[in-house]
Structure formats: C-alpha cells, structure tokens
Structure 1
C-alpha cells in the first residue's frame, strides 16, 4: 500500500508532512490525502517528487520492492540477447539516456500496478 510505505519512509526520515511537502514541492493537503489513503492513485509526477527527499524509488513506493529484484541479484551473469542489444543501441542512438529509460520503466510499472489495483 502506497500510503503506508510513504508514511513509514517520511517518519523514518523524521519529516513532518509539511516538511516533506516543502522538500518535494508538492501540496501538503495532497500528500496528506495520499498518506491517509483517501487518494489511492497518485500520479507518477507526484511519486517522482516525493521519492527524492525520501531517498527511495518510485518502484518501492508502488510495490514495496527495491529497484533490483532478487532474481536479478541472484543472476548477475545474465547476458542480453542480440535483440536486446540492438534495441538498447537504437534507443541510445535516438537520444534516450539512462534517466529517460528508467522513467519509462517506472511509468510502465505504474500503469501495470494501476491496472491491477483498480476498484470496480
């Protein structure tokens, strides 16, 4: 649950809601709504802003998982196949940098999370 993880991280850092809102440049009331679980679908933009002063990742706020999952940690020798190499090289040639790529991955993960957590 985003609300619980956000509040726990904020409290671990010793920030009040007002302090975190100021550091992240977000609305104090919106932050409070998220923490109280009144708004269950914060924007990626909001999550990106609050994750920085909390020294966290958007992925952690959404899923509770660290950016590098356990499967990848245990499989350090994993090698990209040729198709992945070509895809990455093409993206680099098109001007996509690491930060852009990470942001896109987080966006896709958020959309998957959002799809799986819709209230019907």
Structure 2
C-alpha cells in the first residue's frame, strides 16, 4: 500500500514525519493519515511532492514492484530544486534535454 511505502522510504531516509511534512509542504496530519492507510488515494500533487523529498519516482510510491532506490545525488537534487523554484516548467526542461540530445547527435556526426 502507498502509506506503507511512504513510511518505509521516510524511515530509510532518516526523516521524521514532521521533517517530511515541512520539506514537502504537506500537513503532518495528512501524511500521518496516508501512512496509517486512512487516506488511501492521495492526489498526484501530494505524491509528486512526497516523491521529490523522498528522491524516488512517483511510480515507486504507487506501484508495488517499482524500483524504490532511484536516488539523486545532492548536486542534482539541488539543481532540480533551483530550476523548479525559478519557474522552469517540466516542458521547458524536456525541450532543453531534447535540444541537447539533438546537439550531441549533430556535433559528433
């Protein structure tokens, strides 16, 4: 269940429920209700915030057999957070990656 996976990942990361709540910007009581399986259908926005703090893809929270140990090093995590805070959208980031792939293919060809 989602709540059990969130709790397990939180504990693996050495986070208290309060720390997770503060970092994700979600009420501690809401996280508690998820972890205790009282709330079994959290929003995608909530899951996205939690997955960011726990450094796993959202799929690791919702799929029982998803790989849970996809970790980003601190530099990448900080860079992504800065990009998000500065207003870079997912689509803009995706366009940058596509341009970079195109550039590599055309420069080395």
Question: What TM bracket, shorter-length normalisation?
Answer: 0.5 to 0.7
| 1:64-103 → structure 2 map (5 Å cutoff) | 64=64, 65-66=66-67, 97=91
* Matched residue count: 72
Alignment gaps of 5+ in structure 2: 69-89, 95-109
| Residues 1:38 and 1:14: Cα distance change in structure 2 (over 3 Å) | same
Aligned-CA RMSD value: 2.1
Structure 1 residues without counterparts, runs of 5 or longer: 68-95, 101-120
Match of 2:24 in 1: 24
TM-score scaled to structure 1, two decimals?
0.55
| Structure 1 segment 27-66 matched on structure 2, within 5 A | 27-64=27-64, 65-66=66-67
Q: Which has the higher contact order (CA 8 A, sep 6+)?
A: 1
Q: Which stretches of structure 1, 4 residues or more, deviate above 4 A after TM superposition?
A: none
